[in-house]
Copies of this chain bind each other. A is one copy, B any other.
Amino acid sequence: MKLSERKKKILTAVVEEHIRTAEPVSSKAIQKAADLDCSSATIRNELSELGKMGYLEQPHTSAGRVPTPLGYRTYVNELMVRQKLSIEETERLNRDLDEKLNVLEPMVSDIGQFASSVVNYPILTLEAQPPCTISRFDLIYLSAHSFIIVLLLSNSQVKTKLVKLPVSVGQEMITKLSSVFNANFTDIDESEITPLKISSMERAVGDTMGILSVVASYAIEVLSEEKHMKACVSGANKLLSQPEYQDPEKARELISFLSENACGDLLPQQQMAPGENIKVLIGPENVAKELKDSSVILASYDAGQNMKGLIGVVGPTRMDYSGITAKLRLIASELSRRLGGPASLPSGLDNKLILKGDIDGQKT
C-alpha cells in the first residue's frame, strides 16, 4: 500500500518532531512543523489512517502520535533526507578525527570514545581483523634461562613474549630454532602448526627441552587471538541523559548488557549487505531482547586487505537517524581512508613510525 504524498509529509513530521521533543506529536504541532496547507482536522484524519496502517500509535486515546518501529523504518528507508553535514561541521569533525587518527595508530577504543562524544550516545566498535599469518620469527637470546619471541605478523603487527626457562639453553640453539621457525612456520595458517610437525622438528633440531613447542604454542595463540575480532563499548553512560532511560533499572540493564555481552556476541553477527556500508536496526529488529526498545546504527569501515570493521551507535528508537547516520558515515569513511591498507598511512607520521608494541596479559 503506497502512502500519498501528504501522508509521507505527515509521517515525516511526526517522526522528526518526536525525535526532537521526545513527546507524542499532536496534529497542531504537525501543522506547524510541516508546512501543510490544511487544517489540524484534516491532519487528524490522516493521522488516524496512518495509525490504522501501523505507522503510528498513541500512548493513550487522548494523546498525540508516536511512530511505531514500522514508522521509523519507513522514515529511514524512504522519507528521511540524508542530512548533509555543514562544511564547518565536516571540517571540525575531520580535524578532531585527525588528532585521533594521526597521533597514534588508532586504538579502536579511542575512536569509540571520540565518536561517542560526537554523537552523544554509546558507541560499539568491532576492530577489523585481516586473515593473518606470521611473516617472520625472531628469537632474541637474553640469558641461559630466558629469551624473547618476536613475531612479525602479516598485518604488520608485532607480538612479543618474554620466555623464562627452567633449564638452560645456548645461544646457538636459540639461533637455530629461529631459522627453523622462519623456514617452516611462516605464512601458514594456525591449523597447519600440528603437534606432529612440531615433534618431528624437535627431533630434527635436537630440542629435548620443549623450547620449540613453547614458541609454537605462542604462535598458535597469537594467530587464534588475531582471528577473534576485538569489540568494545565506549560511553555507555551517555544513555543516562536520554529521557527513555530515566528508569535507572532499565538503563542499568541495557548498559550492563552492552558492556558484558554486546561486544562479543552482538556485533560479529551483523553482516552488511554487499555494497552497503551502513545499516539501521530499529527496535524489535534487533535480535537481542535487551535492545528491543533501542535502535542501533552500524557503519562498516574498510581497513584494507579485505578487513572490515564495524562502528555502531546505540540509542533509543527515537534517534536522530539522519544526523547520526551522516556523522557515522563520515567517521567510517575517514577510518577507511586512513586505515585502508599501508598505502594510505596517516600523513603526519612521515611514513616512519607505525607500530608500537605494548605488553599486556598472557593467556595460556
A residues whose Cβ falls under 8 Å from a Cβ of B: 103-107, 110, 136, 138, 140, 142, 148, 150, 152, 156-166, 214, 218, 236-237, 240-241, 245-246, 248-249, 251-252, 255-256, 259, 348-364
Whether B364 lies near A103 (C-beta < 8 A) is yes
Q: Which B residues lie within 8 Å of A158 (CB)?
A: 148, 160-162, 357, 359
Whether B152 lies near A150 (C-beta < 8 A) is no
A272: min CB distance to chain B, Å? 26
Q: Which B residues lie within 8 Å of A162 (CB)?
A: 152, 156, 158, 354-355
Whether A164 lies near B354 (C-beta < 8 A) is yes
Q: What residue in chain B is nearest A100 (Cβ atoms)? A: B361
Q: A356-B360, A357-B159 are in contact. Are A351 and B214 (CB under 8 A)?
A: no
A136: min CB distance to chain B, Å? 7
Whether A252 lies near B241 (C-beta < 8 A) is yes
Q: A351-B166, A356-B359, A358-B357 are in contact. Are A148 and B159 (CB under 8 A)?
A: no
**CA distance in complex: A360, B256 (Å):** 26
Whether A360 lies near B362 (C-beta < 8 A) is no
**CA distance in complex: A17, B148 (Å):** 56
Q: What residue in chain B is nearest A222 (Cβ atoms)? A: B356
Q: Which B residues lie within 8 Å of A350 (CB)?
A: 166
Whether B353 lies near A163 (C-beta < 8 A) is yes
Whether A161 lies near B364 (C-beta < 8 A) is no
**CA distance in complex: A358, B187 (Å):** 20
Q: A158-B148, A356-B160 are in contact. Are A110 and B361 (CB under 8 A)?
A: yes
Whether A362 lies near B355 (C-beta < 8 A) is yes
**CA distance in complex: A255, B251 (Å):** 13
Q: What residue in chain B is nearest A104 (Cβ atoms)? A: B361
**CA distance in complex: A67, B317 (Å):** 43
Whether B164 lies near A361 (C-beta < 8 A) is no
**CA distance in complex: A363, B251 (Å):** 35
Q: A349-B364, A361-B104 are in contact. Are A237 and B252 (CB under 8 A)?
A: yes
| Residue in B105, B152, B351 whose beta carbon sits within 8 Å of that of A361 in the complex | B105
Q: Which B residues lie within 8 Å of A105 (CB)?
A: 359-362
Q: List 5 A-B contacts (CB under 8 A).
A: A156-B162, A159-B358, A163-B352, A165-B352, A241-B249
Q: Which B residues lie within 8 Å of A214 (CB)?
A: 352-353
Q: What residue in chain B is nearest A107 (Cβ atoms)? A: B361
**CA distance in complex: A253, B260 (Å):** 22
**CA distance in complex: A295, B358 (Å):** 34
Whether A163 lies near B354 (C-beta < 8 A) is yes
Q: Which B residues lie within 8 Å of A163 (CB)?
A: 352-354
Q: Which B residues lie within 8 Å of A349 (CB)?
A: 362, 364
Q: A140-B138, A148-B150, A240-B251 are in contact. Are A160 and B357 (CB under 8 A)?
A: yes
A39: min CB distance to chain B, Å? 40
Q: Which of A136, A160, A259 has the most CB of B within 10 A?
A: A160
Whether B357 lies near A166 (C-beta < 8 A) is no
Whether B148 lies near A152 (C-beta < 8 A) is yes
Q: Which B residues lie within 8 Å of A166 (CB)?
A: 350-352
Q: Which of A110, A161, A162, A165 has the most CB of B within 10 A?
A: A162
Q: A150-B150, A351-B166, A364-B348 are in contact. Are A356 and B161 (CB under 8 A)?
A: yes
